[in-house]
Amino acid sequence: MEEFIRQFILDEVSDLTYEDLWNFVRSNSVVRGSFEGQRHMIMKISSGQFVIYRLSIGVENTKYQPAVVIAKNYLLKKINSRAYELKLPQIRNIFD
């Protein structure tokens, strides 16, 4: 599970996507919805729970695919950890 989350963070958090990803995860007014990244899909199943899975384009006979259920604050911490590694200028505070 941890490896899956690490790969998601590496693939999806960048200077171009940080703001949109942060706003989607952080928003309390969006209770359900999805965010399509470059290689992963994030489904918001409640205001505090998310399902993350890889996008599998063209694979029609897939019986199952790995997915992770993750809590909001944990996901925000992981996103910010990557943002600090990349030294992004617009890093947000989780508790604002």
Instruction: List the chain domain ranges.
Output: 2-86
Q: Nearest CA to 51 among 15, 4, 84, 95? A: 4
For residue range 72-86, list pLDDT tens digits in order.
999 999 999 999 999
pTM for this model (two decimals): 0.87
- Mean local confidence (pLDDT), 2-21: 94
Query: For residue 68, what are the β-bridge partners?
Result: 52
Q: Nearest CA to 47 among 68, 33, 60, 37? A: 33
For residue range 22-81, list pLDDT tens digits in order.
999 999 888 899 999 999 999 999 989 999 999 876 666 666 788 999 999 999 999 999
Angle at 34 between CA 80 and CA 78, to 5 degrees: 15
Cα dist from 46 to 7, 16, 42, whole Å: 23, 26, 12
Q: Nearest CA to 94 among 26, 9, 14, 16? A: 26
How far, rounded to the nearest angstrom, does the alpha carbon of residue 74 sit from its chain's CA centroid?
10
Query: For residue 33, what are the β-bridge partners?
Result: 44
At residue 1, the pLDDT reads: 83
